[in-house]
Amino acid sequence: MSRAHKLSAKELHNWKLVQRFQEALAEVVAKAKPHPTFSDPRRTLGLAPYLSLFLLGMFNAVIESMRGLCAASELEKVQQETGCSKVSLGSFSETQGVIDPDLLKQVFESLAAEQIKSGDNSDPRLAHLELIAQDGTLWRALPRMFWAEYGVGPKGEANGVRLHLRFNILKDCPADARVTPGKGCEAQALREMLLPDQTSVGDRYYGKDYQLFEEIDRARAFFVFRINQSAVITSEEELPVSPEDAAAGVVRHAWVRLGATEKLKTIRLRLVEIRCDGQHLLLITNHTEERVSAELVSLIYRRRWSIELFFAGLNAFSVAAISLPNPPRESPFRFIWR
């Protein structure tokens, strides 16, 4: 938003989202231990108003900077909905330095918990699995908010916030989340958040960490990861491809090890190679073929789109902007909108 442009309340949207957010935020803030500065009577910008104002900026692309957000705080509608008075640049900048970003995580977890249903409407053949899509994303919500940025500034010194999310694929809702500085390692977050019997589903980033495969297996957990086409694969046993597998695009099924040398070789893994709809995927898993067929390995990875949709919503600045060729029956943000 340029300085010459005077923002109006009509240009702002997603008021219902802010209202629902505030309801959950009130419960979280009541239990939180905020920075001592928030108990100072001289402070004019409180914890809840700050986060509500932050969310409003996050979901309105017309607000492009901290200066623009502070200008929006002059609007009567914004003050009514967020509970803030006119906010100065100095006050907003100082407040972001004492805010714990983990509060946002707690709010989204609270909203998600309300919508978790018993059972699910997914493929019944997956019912015996706890499928968890793992991913991380960088919240680049507002360009001037230093804890919402990463790798900017003259020397790339700005701190960031990275959300590491474990997303329950069958229940279509977050299962766990962790907020770290922007340079936080996603693979390390998976190691720390992993639980026994869960099946972690991840993209090629996780498929590059060969040590991670053994650590997950040792933790009595499972995974379905995509690997790079350039991976060195040593076949130990070719497995049959059933008609059902072939119908799902499976062209190869085998027990293999990855790694170019004996020192680098992985534990024994199942490889499921898929060619379908112009895509060529190499998937690996430590599930046995009796527990999860090659067809289901393909299905599990395809279901990973749910976490991508979730992140798309977080990063899009407007839930209404999400447009998909084959959208799910319900928005991944239904736990916020309802």
Q: Which two tokens stand for residue 338?
A: 């309802």
Judge whether 298 and 274 are in contact, CB under 8 Å. Answer: yes
- Residues facing 148 on adjacent strands: none
Q: Which has more confidence, 195 or 180? A: 195
Instruction: Indicate the pLDDT class of residue 268, thresholds 50, 70 and 90.
Output: very high
Buried b (16+ CB within 10 A) or exposed e, 100-109: ebebbbbbbb
Instruction: Measure CA of the first residue to CA of the last residue in the chain; give whole Å.
Output: 30
The mean pLDDT value of the chain amounts to: 77
Count the residues in the chain: 338
Give the lowest-confidence range in 79-93, 158-172, 265-279.
Answer: 158-172
Model pLDDT, residue 111: 66
Among the listed residues 166, 157, 113, the one whose alpha carbon sits nearest the alpha carbon of residue 137: 166
pLDDT value, residue 112: 58
pLDDT computed for residue 138 by the predictor: 56
CA atoms of 212 and 269, how far apart (whole Å): 13
Q: Which residue has the higher pLDDT, 65 or 119?
A: 65
pLDDT at 120 > cutoff 80: no
How far apart (Å, rounded) are the C-alpha atoms in residues 48 and 61? 21
Find out whether 270 and 290 touch, Cβ atoms under 8 Å: no
* Strands 250-258 and 269-276, bridge-based pairing: antiparallel
- Residue 9 DSSP one-character state: G
Instruction: Please check the confidence at residue 128 and state whether its pLDDT lies above 70.
Output: yes
* H/E segment holding residue 23: helix 15-31
Please tell me which residue, 68 or 111, carries the higher pLDDT value. 68
Q: What is the mean pLDDT of residues 164-175?
A: 81
pLDDT band at 155 (very low <50, low <70, confident <90, very high): low
SS3 of residue 56 by DSSP: helix
Query: Averaged over 161-173, what is the pLDDT?
Result: 79
More confident residue, 321 or 175: 175
State pLDDT tens for residues 15-60.
877 787 788 888 887 887 778 888 888 888 888 888 888 778 766 7
Decide if pLDDT at 150 tops 50.
no
The DSSP symbol for 316 reads S
Cβ neighbours for 17, distance < 8 A, ≥ 6 positions apart: 55, 59, 319, 336, 337
Q: Which residues, listed in sequence order, are joined to residue 25 by a DSSP beta bridge? A: none
Which structure tokens are listed for 172? 């279509």
280-317, pLDDT tens digit by residue? Answer: 999 999 999 999 999 999 999 988 876 665 665 554 33
- The two three-digit tokens of residue 208, written as one number: 């590059």
Rounded Cα–Cα distance for residues 164 and 248 (Å): 30
* Cβ–Cβ < 8 Å for 229, 243: no
Structure tokens at 75: 């609007």
pLDDT at 105: 67
Percent of the chain surpassing pLDDT 90 = 32
Report the distance separating Cα 147 and Cα 149, nearest Å.
Answer: 5
136 vs 237, higher pLDDT = 237
* pLDDT tens digits along 210-262: 999 999 999 999 999 999 999 999 999 999 999 999 999 999 999 999 999 98
How confident is the model at residue 207, as a pLDDT? 94
Residue of higher predicted confidence among 159 and 279 = 279
